[in-house]
């Protein structure tokens, strides 16, 4: 159910989001780790935006900054048009109900000293939504909606398997009836067989409750399956955003091309024919990065302008945004994919 272009309603808009962490470089010298550097995107009501990128590219920081677990260094986070980036914790409290987060590690995201019922019910307690038997009823309903049953409520997290724990985490995130759920790599710590179950559960819940997801992951094929649109991050920057089908068939940014070529193909014949783009070198450190395109140190098509100016994010084709001088700039003679 991809919303059609006409009646799309923006639920979350992120404008120029920046999150820098101070780092110590020894003997009083301080640097800045630019975990998220000038990221802008929006999510429409009812859609799933996938966010992919390799480890350390700032995906998780984006998610955590949106739900204000981190205070943004700069930029705006608009929920239904209200900017929450600069709010105090007290001002934020009502907005907490519109967005929740599901964490990666189902073993670390549940308090081992609390019963499952109390874990799922804690958001209800914090916001004073229900007490006594009504609270009990709501907890049971939440557990049932994620495929668990009433008798699980009095048990402790260590009695559950990874997949079940992730379901408990999902039930907790649903307790406040949020519109937006940030799924921070919710399946990467699970068995492959369980991954599909959790993905299907998220899919079902989206259809039933009209949820909007920001789905953060590094498993590209899984992201393609669940997302309507996908954003690709590299070194704290968003480099390309497009519809998932479009991105997979016609990636424009050189980094996206390299990333997609790394997806394993479950067919030896097709695999032998496909060309893997192998990038030179490593991801540079995000501590005090030089100006210019974040990908310039490894890009096979690097130009002079790439080292000097950061490419702006432009809609180079309808609903296909890309930040690359090669695609958008005056030098864009042909598509990078056909260059060699």
Partner 1 sequence: MPNMEAEFDRSLFQPLNEEQKERNLMVRPSLTYWQDAWQRFRRHKPALIAMLVLLLIFLGAIFIPAISRYDYDQQIRTARNQFPSWEHLFGTDKLGRDLFIRVVYGARISLSIGFVASLINLTIGVLYGGISGYIGGRVDNIMMRIVDVLYSIPLLLYVILLKVVFQDYIDEAFKNTALASLKSLGPELILIYVVLGSVYWVGMARMVRGQVLSIKNNEYVLAARASGASGPRIILRHLVPNAIGQIIVTVTMSIPSAIFTESFLSFIGIGVSAPMASWGSLASDAYKGLASYPYLLLFPALAISVTVLAFNIMGDGLRDALDPRMRR
Q: Which residues bind partner 1 (CB under 8 A)?
A: 64, 67, 69, 89, 92-93, 96-97, 100-101, 103-105, 108-114, 119, 122-123, 126-127, 154-156, 159, 169, 172, 175-176, 267
Q: CB-wise, 58 or 123, nearer to partner 1? A: 123
Q: CB-wise, 33 or 305, nearer to partner 1? A: 33
Instruction: Give 213's strand partners.
Output: 48, 181
Question: Min. distance of Cβ 105 from partner 1 in angstroms?
Answer: 6
Question: Min. distance of Cβ 155 from partner 1 in angstroms?
Answer: 5
Question: Min. distance of Cβ 179 from partner 1 in angstroms?
Answer: 14
Q: CB-wise, 214 or 237, nearer to partner 1? A: 214
Within 10 A of 289 (CB to CB), how many other CB atoms are there? 17
Report which of 163, 204, 158, 157 is spatially closest to residue 186, judged by C-alpha positions: 163
Question: Which region, left, alpha or beta, applies to residue 43 given φ > 0 means left and ψ of -120 to 50 means alpha?
Answer: beta
Question: Min. distance of Cβ 159 from partner 1 in angstroms?
Answer: 7
Question: Min. distance of Cβ 108 from partner 1 in angstroms?
Answer: 5
Cβ atoms of 79 and 12 closer than 8 Å = yes
Q: CB-wise, 127 or 250, nearer to partner 1? A: 127
Question: Min. distance of Cβ 93 from partner 1 in angstroms?
Answer: 5
Q: CB-wise, 175 or 239, nearer to partner 1? A: 175
Question: Min. distance of Cβ 312 from partner 1 in angstroms?
Answer: 32
Q: CB-wise, 43 or 102, nearer to partner 1? A: 102
Q: CB-wise, 99 or 230, nearer to partner 1? A: 99
């Amino acid at each position: 159910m991809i919303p059609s272009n006409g009646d799309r309603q923006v639920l979350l808009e992120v404008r120029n989001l920046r999150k820098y962490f101070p780092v110590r470089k020894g003997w009083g010298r301080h640097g800045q780790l630019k975990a998220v550097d000038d990221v802008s995107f929006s999510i429409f009501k009812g859609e799933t935006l996938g966010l992919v990128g390799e480890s350390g590219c700032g995906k998780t920081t984006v998610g955590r900054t949106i739900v204000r677990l981190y205070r943004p260094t700069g930029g705006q986070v608009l929920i239904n048009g209200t900017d929450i980036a600069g709010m105090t914790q007290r001002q934020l409290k009502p907005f907490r109900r519109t967005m929740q987060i599901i964490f990666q590690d189902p073993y670390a995201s549940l308090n081992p000293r609390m019963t499952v019922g109390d874990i799922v019910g804690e958001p209800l307690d914090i916001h004073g939504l229900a007490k006594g038997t009504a609270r009990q009823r709501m907890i049971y309903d939440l557990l049932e909606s994620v495929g668990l049953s009433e008798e699980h409520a009095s048990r402790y997290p260590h009695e559950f398997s990874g997949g079940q724990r992730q379901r408990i985490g999902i039930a907790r995130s649903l307790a406040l009836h949020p519109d937006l759920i940030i799924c921070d790599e919710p399946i990467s710590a699970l068995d492959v067989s369980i991954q599909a179950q959790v993905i299907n559960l998220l899919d079902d819940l989206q259809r039933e409750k009209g949820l909007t997801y920001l789905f953060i992951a590094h498993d590209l094929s899984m992201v393609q399956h669940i997302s309507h649109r996908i954003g690709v991050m590299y070194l704290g920057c968003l480099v390309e955003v497009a519809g998932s089908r479009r991105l997979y068939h016609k990636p424009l940014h050189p980094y996206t091309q390299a990333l997609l070529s790394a997806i394993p193909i479950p067919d030896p014949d097709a695999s032998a024919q496909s060309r893997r783009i192998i990038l030179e070198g490593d991801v540079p450190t995000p501590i005090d990065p030089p100006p210019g395109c974040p990908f310039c140190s490894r890009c096979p098509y690097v130009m002079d302008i790439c080292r000097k100016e950061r490419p702006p994010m432009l809609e180079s084709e309808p609903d296909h945004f890309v930040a690359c001088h090669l695609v958008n700039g005056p030098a864009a003679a042909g598509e990078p994919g056909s260059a060699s």
